[in-house]
Amino acid sequence: MLSKNASIFTLNNELKMPSIGLGVLFAENDGEVEGAVISALKSGYRKIDTASAYQNEKGVGRAIRESEVPREEIFLTTKVWNTEQGYDKTLLAFEQSLKQLQTDYVDLYLIHWPVKAKYKETYRAMEHIYASGKAKAIGVCNFSIAQLEDLMEHSNVVPAINQVEMHPHLSQNELLHFANAHNIQLEAWRPIMMGEVLSIPELVDIGKVHQKSAVQIALRWLVQRGVAVIPKSVTQKRIIQNFEIFDFMLTKEEMAIVEGLNQNRNLGEDLSHIE
């Protein structure tokens, strides 16, 4: 059973997905990622987001098995990396991810970056995986509106998710509007700007009103605008705090203040060219 405090988003194929999950980028396979995942699951999280490129799928799989949470209650995401793209290579990469995670299915399989010459055939392979039932949903990461339009023109399954960088300095309003119009769920990576939100005065001030941190305000702002979040942490205290965003609501005025912080500022590097 999902935590009572966790809001749920329904994807375009009717699959239910928790609005908040644990991201594990840079978490090491030496016990660090296991500790983070187990802490998150004990705290009420039911979504874990990894990728083959993170090189910690094995640790994530171990943690899920060691936890007391049944696999069917956990929404597990992984991604195909740039060098693994192409039809046949994607099929092989997916099977390798299942082996590393020690599971017979994932809840969501994503294209990590839109490698220009390959993402359409990669997605065709993912449609095959989706039809097999080994991935309950498929989608993409870091796709622009033009790339989404191109992909949808040449595919049969509308991506369930587009996972993109989004935070108070990068509100992605145009992309959010497009996603909503096409029933594509946006999910934010780097939602707390690697901790930078703690030094944004407006977020600190709003936090004081609600007795919350600037991090919690940033996460609440995203979830309240209908965007899923996957904040990364390996610290138990922060993992717990990041999850405590469902016992308050931001007002329209507060939402507008956060919206006004947008600078169209990317913190992450575009890695779509790396093969």
* Residue positions annotated with a catalytic role: 54
Rounded Cα gap, residues 34 and 192, in angstroms? 22
CA-to-CA dists, residue 160 to 13, 103, 130, angstroms? 7, 21, 11
Q: Is 272 helix (H, G, I), strand (E, B) or coil?
A: coil
CB-based burial label for 167 (10 Å; 0-12, 13-18, 19+) = buried
Residue 43's CB is within 10 A of a number of other CB atoms, namely: 17
What does the block give as tokens for 243? 């999850």
Q: At what angle do helices 145-153 and 173-181 cross, to 10 degrees?
A: 20
Of the candidates 30, 32, 22, the one whose C-alpha atom is nearest the C-alpha of residue 69 is 22
